[in-house]
Amino acid sequence: MIDSIIIDGLAFALPMFIMAIGGIFSEKSGITNLAIEGLQGFGAFTGAFAMVILTNAMGTGTQVPYYISFLVAAAGGMIYSMVHVILCIRFKANQVISGVVVNILAMALTSFLTRRLNLMIFGETSNKFILETSVRYDVPVLSEIPFIGAAFKRVYPFEILIVIIAVIAWYVMYRTPYGMHLRACGDNPHAADAAGIDVGRVQMIAIVLSGGLSAIGGMCYAYSISANFSPDIYLGLGYLAIAALIFGNWSILPTLGACLLFGFARSIGHEVIKNLGMPSTYNDLVRTLPYVVTLLLLIFFSKNNRAPRALGEVYFRGKR
Protein backbone atom coordinates (compact mmCIF):
# COMPACT_ATOMS: atom_id res chain seq x y z
CA MET A 1 0.00 0.00 0.00
CA ILE A 2 2.80 2.41 0.90
CA ASP A 3 4.45 1.36 -2.33
CA SER A 4 1.54 2.33 -4.49
CA ILE A 5 1.14 5.62 -2.61
CA ILE A 6 4.72 6.51 -3.47
CA ILE A 7 4.54 5.22 -7.02
CA ASP A 8 1.27 6.98 -7.88
CA GLY A 9 2.21 10.09 -5.95
CA LEU A 10 5.43 10.50 -7.91
CA ALA A 11 3.74 9.80 -11.21
CA PHE A 12 1.29 12.61 -10.48
CA ALA A 13 3.75 15.03 -8.89
CA LEU A 14 6.63 14.98 -11.35
CA PRO A 15 4.73 16.08 -14.47
CA MET A 16 3.28 18.87 -12.39
CA PHE A 17 6.79 19.72 -11.25
CA ILE A 18 8.05 20.16 -14.78
CA MET A 19 5.12 22.42 -15.61
CA ALA A 20 5.89 24.43 -12.49
CA ILE A 21 9.54 24.76 -13.55
CA GLY A 22 8.32 26.21 -16.81
CA GLY A 23 6.14 28.57 -14.82
CA ILE A 24 9.09 29.59 -12.66
CA PHE A 25 11.11 30.49 -15.75
CA SER A 26 8.33 32.63 -17.09
CA GLU A 27 7.43 34.31 -13.80
CA LYS A 28 11.04 34.91 -12.77
CA SER A 29 11.42 36.83 -16.02
CA GLY A 30 8.49 38.98 -14.98
CA ILE A 31 5.67 37.43 -17.01
CA THR A 32 2.69 36.07 -15.10
CA ASN A 33 1.93 32.74 -16.67
CA LEU A 34 -1.55 31.36 -16.16
CA ALA A 35 -1.25 29.92 -19.65
CA ILE A 36 0.41 26.74 -18.39
CA GLU A 37 -2.94 24.98 -18.39
CA GLY A 38 -3.46 25.68 -22.07
CA LEU A 39 0.17 25.07 -22.96
CA GLN A 40 0.18 21.60 -21.42
CA GLY A 41 -3.06 20.75 -23.17
CA PHE A 42 -1.86 21.96 -26.53
CA GLY A 43 1.44 20.15 -26.08
CA ALA A 44 -0.34 16.94 -25.19
CA PHE A 45 -2.51 17.39 -28.24
CA THR A 46 0.41 17.70 -30.66
CA GLY A 47 2.32 14.91 -28.97
CA ALA A 48 -0.66 12.58 -28.96
CA PHE A 49 -1.37 13.34 -32.58
CA ALA A 50 2.22 12.54 -33.50
CA MET A 51 2.01 9.33 -31.51
CA VAL A 52 -1.18 8.23 -33.24
CA ILE A 53 0.29 8.95 -36.68
CA LEU A 54 3.61 7.30 -35.89
CA THR A 55 2.12 4.15 -34.40
CA ASN A 56 -0.01 3.87 -37.50
CA ALA A 57 3.07 4.12 -39.65
CA MET A 58 5.60 2.18 -37.58
CA GLY A 59 3.46 -0.34 -35.74
CA THR A 60 3.33 -0.90 -32.02
CA GLY A 61 6.51 -2.93 -31.63
CA THR A 62 8.83 0.00 -31.11
CA GLN A 63 9.43 2.61 -28.42
CA VAL A 64 10.64 5.21 -30.93
CA PRO A 65 7.26 6.92 -31.43
CA TYR A 66 6.95 7.27 -27.67
CA TYR A 67 10.09 9.35 -27.42
CA ILE A 68 9.40 11.28 -30.59
CA SER A 69 5.99 12.19 -29.26
CA PHE A 70 7.62 14.01 -26.34
CA LEU A 71 9.76 16.01 -28.72
CA VAL A 72 6.77 16.87 -30.85
CA ALA A 73 4.76 17.82 -27.75
CA ALA A 74 7.53 20.14 -26.58
CA ALA A 75 7.75 21.71 -30.03
CA GLY A 76 3.96 22.13 -30.12
CA GLY A 77 3.92 23.76 -26.70
CA MET A 78 6.73 26.09 -27.69
CA ILE A 79 5.03 27.17 -30.88
CA TYR A 80 1.69 27.61 -29.15
CA SER A 81 3.30 29.63 -26.36
CA MET A 82 4.01 32.28 -28.97
CA VAL A 83 0.39 33.32 -28.56
CA HIS A 84 1.17 34.33 -24.98
CA VAL A 85 4.40 35.95 -26.16
CA ILE A 86 2.61 38.00 -28.78
CA LEU A 87 -0.21 39.05 -26.46
CA CYS A 88 2.03 39.92 -23.50
CA ILE A 89 5.11 41.34 -25.16
CA ARG A 90 4.02 42.63 -28.54
CA PHE A 91 0.51 43.75 -27.63
CA LYS A 92 1.24 44.54 -23.99
CA ALA A 93 -2.00 42.88 -22.92
CA ASN A 94 -2.80 42.23 -19.28
CA GLN A 95 -0.86 39.06 -18.53
CA VAL A 96 -3.54 37.46 -16.40
CA ILE A 97 -6.15 37.98 -19.08
CA SER A 98 -3.74 36.80 -21.75
CA GLY A 99 -3.10 33.60 -19.83
CA VAL A 100 -6.80 32.86 -19.51
CA VAL A 101 -7.31 33.68 -23.18
CA VAL A 102 -4.52 31.30 -24.18
CA ASN A 103 -6.17 28.56 -22.13
CA ILE A 104 -9.61 29.08 -23.59
CA LEU A 105 -8.19 29.14 -27.11
CA ALA A 106 -6.25 25.95 -26.43
CA MET A 107 -9.36 24.17 -25.26
CA ALA A 108 -11.39 25.30 -28.26
CA LEU A 109 -8.64 24.74 -30.77
CA THR A 110 -7.54 21.29 -29.62
CA SER A 111 -11.10 19.97 -29.26
CA PHE A 112 -11.91 21.23 -32.72
CA LEU A 113 -8.73 19.91 -34.28
CA THR A 114 -8.96 16.53 -32.58
CA ARG A 115 -12.40 15.97 -34.05
CA ARG A 116 -11.38 17.32 -37.40
CA LEU A 117 -8.19 15.32 -37.66
CA ASN A 118 -9.87 12.14 -36.51
CA LEU A 119 -12.43 12.64 -39.21
CA MET A 120 -10.00 13.58 -41.94
CA ILE A 121 -7.36 10.96 -41.31
CA PHE A 122 -9.13 8.05 -39.73
CA GLY A 123 -12.67 8.76 -40.82
CA GLU A 124 -13.90 8.51 -37.23
CA THR A 125 -16.00 10.85 -35.20
CA SER A 126 -14.14 10.94 -31.95
CA ASN A 127 -12.85 13.67 -29.71
CA LYS A 128 -9.99 11.50 -28.49
CA PHE A 129 -6.59 10.34 -29.61
CA ILE A 130 -6.25 6.95 -27.98
CA LEU A 131 -2.78 6.24 -26.61
CA GLU A 132 -1.42 3.33 -24.73
CA THR A 133 -0.26 3.87 -21.21
CA SER A 134 3.44 4.28 -21.04
CA VAL A 135 5.68 1.33 -20.23
CA ARG A 136 7.15 1.32 -16.74
CA TYR A 137 10.44 0.07 -15.44
CA ASP A 138 11.87 -1.03 -12.13
CA VAL A 139 15.24 0.60 -11.62
CA PRO A 140 17.63 -2.27 -10.90
CA VAL A 141 19.21 -2.42 -7.41
CA LEU A 142 17.64 0.84 -6.18
CA SER A 143 14.13 -0.54 -6.32
CA GLU A 144 15.19 -3.36 -4.01
CA ILE A 145 15.79 -1.00 -1.12
CA PRO A 146 13.02 -1.40 1.41
CA PHE A 147 10.50 1.45 1.71
CA ILE A 148 12.23 4.16 -0.37
CA GLY A 149 12.82 1.59 -3.05
CA ALA A 150 9.22 2.22 -4.08
CA ALA A 151 10.33 5.50 -5.59
CA PHE A 152 12.26 3.44 -8.14
CA LYS A 153 9.58 0.85 -8.83
CA ARG A 154 7.31 0.95 -11.83
CA VAL A 155 8.89 4.18 -12.94
CA TYR A 156 7.70 5.90 -16.11
CA PRO A 157 10.61 6.77 -18.37
CA PHE A 158 9.45 10.37 -18.34
CA GLU A 159 9.95 10.61 -14.60
CA ILE A 160 13.67 10.18 -15.09
CA LEU A 161 13.59 12.67 -17.94
CA ILE A 162 11.91 15.18 -15.67
CA VAL A 163 14.51 14.86 -12.95
CA ILE A 164 17.28 15.42 -15.47
CA ILE A 165 15.50 18.46 -16.91
CA ALA A 166 14.99 19.86 -13.42
CA VAL A 167 18.71 19.73 -12.71
CA ILE A 168 19.51 21.40 -16.02
CA ALA A 169 16.84 24.02 -15.35
CA TRP A 170 18.36 24.85 -11.98
CA TYR A 171 21.78 25.20 -13.57
CA VAL A 172 20.50 27.45 -16.35
CA MET A 173 18.61 29.61 -13.88
CA TYR A 174 21.37 30.17 -11.35
CA ARG A 175 24.68 29.62 -13.12
CA THR A 176 24.43 30.81 -16.70
CA PRO A 177 24.35 34.35 -18.08
CA TYR A 178 20.88 33.72 -19.48
CA GLY A 179 19.58 32.77 -16.05
CA MET A 180 21.12 35.87 -14.58
CA HIS A 181 19.50 38.04 -17.23
CA LEU A 182 16.18 36.30 -16.71
CA ARG A 183 16.05 36.88 -12.97
CA ALA A 184 17.17 40.48 -13.51
CA CYS A 185 14.25 41.12 -15.87
CA GLY A 186 11.83 39.88 -13.24
CA ASP A 187 13.26 42.15 -10.59
CA ASN A 188 13.88 45.35 -12.50
CA PRO A 189 13.45 45.31 -16.27
CA HIS A 190 14.62 48.92 -16.55
CA ALA A 191 17.92 48.01 -14.97
CA ALA A 192 18.25 44.98 -17.20
CA ASP A 193 17.55 47.12 -20.22
CA ALA A 194 20.11 49.70 -19.14
CA ALA A 195 22.65 46.87 -18.80
CA GLY A 196 22.12 46.10 -22.46
CA ILE A 197 19.81 43.14 -22.00
CA ASP A 198 17.01 42.76 -24.51
CA VAL A 199 14.16 42.37 -22.02
CA GLY A 200 11.57 41.34 -24.58
CA ARG A 201 13.85 38.65 -25.96
CA VAL A 202 14.72 37.23 -22.54
CA GLN A 203 11.04 37.11 -21.62
CA MET A 204 10.12 35.57 -24.94
CA ILE A 205 12.63 32.77 -24.48
CA ALA A 206 11.38 32.22 -20.94
CA ILE A 207 7.78 31.90 -22.10
CA VAL A 208 8.73 29.59 -24.94
CA LEU A 209 10.74 27.42 -22.56
CA SER A 210 7.79 27.31 -20.25
CA GLY A 211 5.65 26.29 -23.23
CA GLY A 212 7.97 23.39 -23.99
CA LEU A 213 8.20 22.23 -20.39
CA SER A 214 4.45 22.51 -19.79
CA ALA A 215 3.86 20.52 -22.95
CA ILE A 216 6.09 17.72 -21.73
CA GLY A 217 4.11 17.74 -18.48
CA GLY A 218 0.84 17.52 -20.39
CA MET A 219 2.16 14.67 -22.50
CA CYS A 220 3.14 12.78 -19.34
CA TYR A 221 -0.42 13.04 -18.06
CA ALA A 222 -1.77 11.90 -21.40
CA TYR A 223 0.41 8.78 -21.09
CA SER A 224 -0.27 8.12 -17.44
CA ILE A 225 -3.57 9.13 -15.89
CA SER A 226 -5.75 9.21 -18.98
CA ALA A 227 -4.08 7.05 -21.67
CA ASN A 228 -5.56 9.29 -24.33
CA PHE A 229 -5.78 12.85 -25.42
CA SER A 230 -9.21 14.39 -25.04
CA PRO A 231 -10.56 17.71 -23.77
CA ASP A 232 -10.55 16.03 -20.36
CA ILE A 233 -6.85 16.89 -20.19
CA TYR A 234 -7.91 20.35 -19.02
CA LEU A 235 -8.31 19.32 -15.42
CA GLY A 236 -6.71 22.41 -13.97
CA LEU A 237 -3.41 20.64 -13.39
CA GLY A 238 -1.64 23.60 -14.97
CA TYR A 239 -3.26 25.83 -12.38
CA LEU A 240 -2.17 23.44 -9.65
CA ALA A 241 1.37 23.80 -10.97
CA ILE A 242 1.05 27.55 -10.55
CA ALA A 243 -0.18 27.13 -7.01
CA ALA A 244 2.81 24.85 -6.41
CA LEU A 245 5.30 27.41 -7.60
CA ILE A 246 3.68 30.16 -5.55
CA PHE A 247 3.81 27.89 -2.54
CA GLY A 248 7.41 27.03 -3.49
CA ASN A 249 8.24 30.73 -3.46
CA TRP A 250 9.40 30.70 -7.09
CA SER A 251 12.34 28.44 -6.25
CA ILE A 252 12.84 25.08 -7.87
CA LEU A 253 13.45 22.80 -4.92
CA PRO A 254 10.65 23.99 -2.61
CA THR A 255 8.33 23.79 -5.61
CA LEU A 256 9.21 20.12 -5.95
CA GLY A 257 8.16 19.74 -2.32
CA ALA A 258 4.80 21.34 -3.06
CA CYS A 259 4.23 19.10 -6.07
CA LEU A 260 5.06 16.00 -4.05
CA LEU A 261 2.61 17.09 -1.40
CA PHE A 262 -0.19 17.38 -3.96
CA GLY A 263 0.76 14.06 -5.49
CA PHE A 264 0.82 12.20 -2.19
CA ALA A 265 -2.40 13.83 -1.00
CA ARG A 266 -4.05 12.36 -4.04
CA SER A 267 -2.49 8.92 -3.95
CA ILE A 268 -3.10 8.53 -0.23
CA GLY A 269 -6.77 9.40 -0.76
CA HIS A 270 -7.14 6.84 -3.52
CA GLU A 271 -5.48 4.14 -1.46
CA VAL A 272 -7.68 4.85 1.53
CA ILE A 273 -10.82 4.50 -0.53
CA LYS A 274 -9.58 1.32 -2.18
CA ASN A 275 -8.64 -0.26 1.12
CA LEU A 276 -11.79 0.71 2.92
CA GLY A 277 -13.83 -0.74 0.08
CA MET A 278 -15.79 2.45 -0.48
CA PRO A 279 -17.78 2.82 -3.73
CA SER A 280 -15.91 4.30 -6.66
CA THR A 281 -18.02 7.45 -6.60
CA TYR A 282 -15.92 8.44 -3.61
CA ASN A 283 -13.00 8.83 -5.97
CA ASP A 284 -14.52 12.12 -7.02
CA LEU A 285 -14.10 13.35 -3.47
CA VAL A 286 -10.49 12.20 -3.44
CA ARG A 287 -9.87 14.14 -6.63
CA THR A 288 -10.54 17.33 -4.75
CA LEU A 289 -7.64 16.66 -2.38
CA PRO A 290 -4.82 18.34 -4.33
CA TYR A 291 -6.99 21.42 -4.79
CA VAL A 292 -8.04 21.51 -1.16
CA VAL A 293 -4.46 21.02 0.01
CA THR A 294 -3.37 23.82 -2.32
CA LEU A 295 -5.91 26.21 -0.89
CA LEU A 296 -5.05 25.34 2.68
CA LEU A 297 -1.33 25.72 2.04
CA LEU A 298 -1.86 29.04 0.34
CA ILE A 299 -3.85 30.19 3.33
CA PHE A 300 -0.95 29.42 5.63
CA PHE A 301 1.96 30.39 3.45
CA SER A 302 1.06 33.08 0.98
CA LYS A 303 1.51 35.91 3.46
CA ASN A 304 5.28 35.71 3.44
CA ASN A 305 5.56 35.08 -0.24
CA ARG A 306 8.03 37.11 -2.20
CA ALA A 307 7.05 37.19 -5.83
CA PRO A 308 9.52 38.55 -8.37
CA ARG A 309 9.30 42.30 -7.94
CA ALA A 310 8.33 43.17 -11.49
CA LEU A 311 5.96 40.21 -11.96
CA GLY A 312 3.04 41.06 -14.16
CA GLU A 313 4.34 44.52 -14.91
CA VAL A 314 4.02 45.42 -18.55
CA TYR A 315 7.42 46.71 -19.57
CA PHE A 316 7.50 49.86 -21.65
CA ARG A 317 10.90 51.00 -22.69
CA GLY A 318 10.32 54.71 -22.57
CA LYS A 319 8.59 54.64 -19.19
CA ARG A 320 10.62 56.48 -16.60
Partner 1 sequence: MDNYEYIIEMKHITKRFPRIVANDDVSISIKKGEIYALLGENGAGKTTIMSVLFGMYEPDEGEIYIRGEKVNITSPRQATMLGIGMVQQHFRLISNYTVTENIILGSEPQNKLFGFIPHVDIKKSNAEIAALSEKYGLKVDPLAVISDLNVSTQQRVEILKMLYRDAEILIFDEPTAVLTPQEIEFLLEIIRGLRDSGKTIIIITHKLEEIKAIADRCAILNHGRLIDIKDVKDTSTTELARLMVGHEVSFTVDKEEARPGDTVLKVENLTVCNEQGYKAVDDVSFEIHSGEIFALAGVAGNGQNELADAIAGLKQVRSGKIVLDGLDITGMSIRERIENGMSYIPEDRQKVGLIMGFSLKDNLAVRKYYTDSFSHHTIINDQTFDEHGKRLIDDYDIRSSDGNSTIVRAMSGGNQQKAMIAREIDMKGKLIVVMQPTRGLDVGAISNIHKRIVAERDRGAAILLISLELDEVMNCADTIGVIYDGRINRIAKASELTVNEVGNYMMGVSRSEVKDGRDDMQKEGGEGA
Partner 2 sequence: MKKLMVRLLSGEKHQMFRISVFAVVISLIFGAAVLLMIATNPFASYLNLLQGSGLAPKRSYAGMRNMFTDFMSFLDAMTPMIFASLSVMVALKGGLFNIGVSGMMLVSSFCATALVGYSSLSAGIARPLVLIIGIVSGALVGAIIGALKFKFNINEVVSSIMLNYIFMYVLTFFINSYYLDPVSRQSINISDSARLTIIDIKAFGLKFDVPLAFILAILAAFIIRFVMNRTTIGYEIKAVGLSPAAANYAGINIRKNILLTMVVSGALAGLAGVTYYCGYVGSIQPGVVPGLGFNAIAVALLGCSDPIGCILASFLITVISKGSIYMSSQQGVEIELADLITAFILIFSACSGFIKEYTDKVERQLKEKNFNEKKGGAQA
Q: Helix (H, G, I), strand (E, B), or coil: what is residue 155? A: strand
Q: What's the full length of the chain, in residues?
A: 320
Q: Binders of partner 2: how many residues, by CB under 8 A?
A: 43
Single out the residue of 237, 243, 236 nearest to residue 257, CA to CA: 243
CB of residue 305 to partner 2, shortest distance in Å: 7
CB of residue 308 to partner 1, shortest distance in Å: 9
Binding flag, residue 183, partner 1 (CB under 8 A): yes
Of 147 and 319, nearer to partner 1 (C-beta) is: 319
Alpha helices by DSSP H, listed for 122-236, are 157-175, 177-187, 189-194, 199-221
Residues 138, 73: contact at Cβ < 8 Å? no
CB of residue 303 to partner 1, shortest distance in Å: 12
C-alpha to C-alpha distance for 186 and 28, rounded to whole angstroms: 5
CA dihedral 256, 261, 262, 268 (to 10 degrees): 140
H/E segment holding residue 228: strand 228-229
Binding-residue pattern over the window 196 to 235 for partner 2, x denoting contact by CB under 8 A:
---------------------------------------x
CB of residue 208 to partner 2, shortest distance in Å: 18
CB of residue 182 to partner 1, shortest distance in Å: 11
CB of residue 193 to partner 1, shortest distance in Å: 7
Binding flag, residue 116, partner 2 (CB under 8 A): yes
Q: Scanning residues 153 to 182, which ones bind partner 2 (CB under 8 A)? A: none
C-alpha distance across the termini of the chain, in Å: 60
Choose which of 191, 253, 292, 295 interacts with partner 1 (CB under 8 A): 191
Binding flag, residue 128, partner 1 (CB under 8 A): no
Q: Helix (H, G, I), strand (E, B), or coil: what is residue 229? A: strand
C-alpha to C-alpha distance for 238 and 17, rounded to whole angstroms: 10
Which residues have CB under 8 Å from 49's CB, separation 6+? 72, 114, 117, 129, 229
Single out the residue of 200, 197, 233 nearest to residue 214, CA to CA: 233
Which of partner 2, partner 1, none binds 109 (CB below 5-8 Å, type-dependent)? partner 2
Choose which of 13, 87, 215, 258 interacts with partner 2 (CB under 8 A): 87
Q: Scanning residues 145 to 174, which ones bind partner 1 (CB under 8 A)? A: 171
Residues of the shown chain interacting with partner 2 in the complex, contacts defined by CB under 8 A: 34, 83, 87, 91-94, 96-98, 100-101, 104-105, 107-109, 111-112, 115-116, 235-236, 239, 242-243, 246, 279, 281-282, 284-285, 287-288, 291-292, 294-295, 298-299, 302-303, 305
